[in-house]
A = this chain, B = another copy of it.
Amino acid sequence: MVHIMAYHHGDLRRAVLDAALEVIATSGPGAISLRDLARRAGVSHAAPAHHFKDKAGLLTAIAVEGNELLADSLTEALDEDRTGLIDLGVRYVRFALEHPAHFEVMYRPDLYHRRAPELVAARERTGKLMRRTVELMPEEKRGPDAALAQLAAWSAAHGFANLVRGGNLDRTLGDRDPGEVFRGMARVLFGQSDD
């Protein structure tokens, strides 16, 4: 495998990303330090800069990856033809809770280079997918105005996920699965439509 002091790490980029994701998930994005990540990967303090240029560059890469993971999940949803608006929201909530670090960074544009081409491309891709997923839905599942339905679903899911992540719903949730609690809430919210 790798020699103890190999000059080349093998995949430093991935190693730094993973270390960053771990730190962010436990201590938030403010706790990351390029030098600390370098230490964890066993490389010199300036090595990460070669892959990400910047601290903001590292976070940009995480935001891009997050958008791609979300896009993958949405693509899955598109393939299941029984997917309704509520399922889409549940999927969004689950994504936020299963990839907390990505989610955290994605919606914090002050942390990264929001004009980076990679980022706007990934963002555009997931945006289009969200729109398509809602538009392809039968009208009795999403109401007459697709754009409004998307806005409502996105707001509810995004807000719920953020509140859960912030620990604001601990008492309300108990030990129940957040995704299912959201489903129950959404059913009331969106009227009586079943799944």
* Interface residue ranges, A against B (CB under 8 Å): 27-31, 107-111, 143, 145, 147-149, 151-152, 154-163, 166-169, 172, 184-185, 188-191
- State the main secondary structure of chain A at its contact with B: helix
Docked pose: A159 CA to B96 CA in angstroms: 13
- The count of identical subunits is 2
Report chain B residues within 8 Å CB of A166.
107-109
Contact flag A110-B156 (CB < 8 Å), given A148-B188, A188-B145, A188-B148: no
B152, A163: Cβ atoms closer than 8 Å: no
Contact flag A167-B30 (CB < 8 Å), given A152-B188, A188-B148: no
B159, A160: Cβ atoms closer than 8 Å: yes
Docked pose: A143 CA to B158 CA in angstroms: 22
Docked pose: A145 CA to B191 CA in angstroms: 14
Which 6 residue pairs across A and B have the least CB separation, nearest first? A159-B159, A28-B110, A158-B159, A155-B159, A155-B160, A152-B189
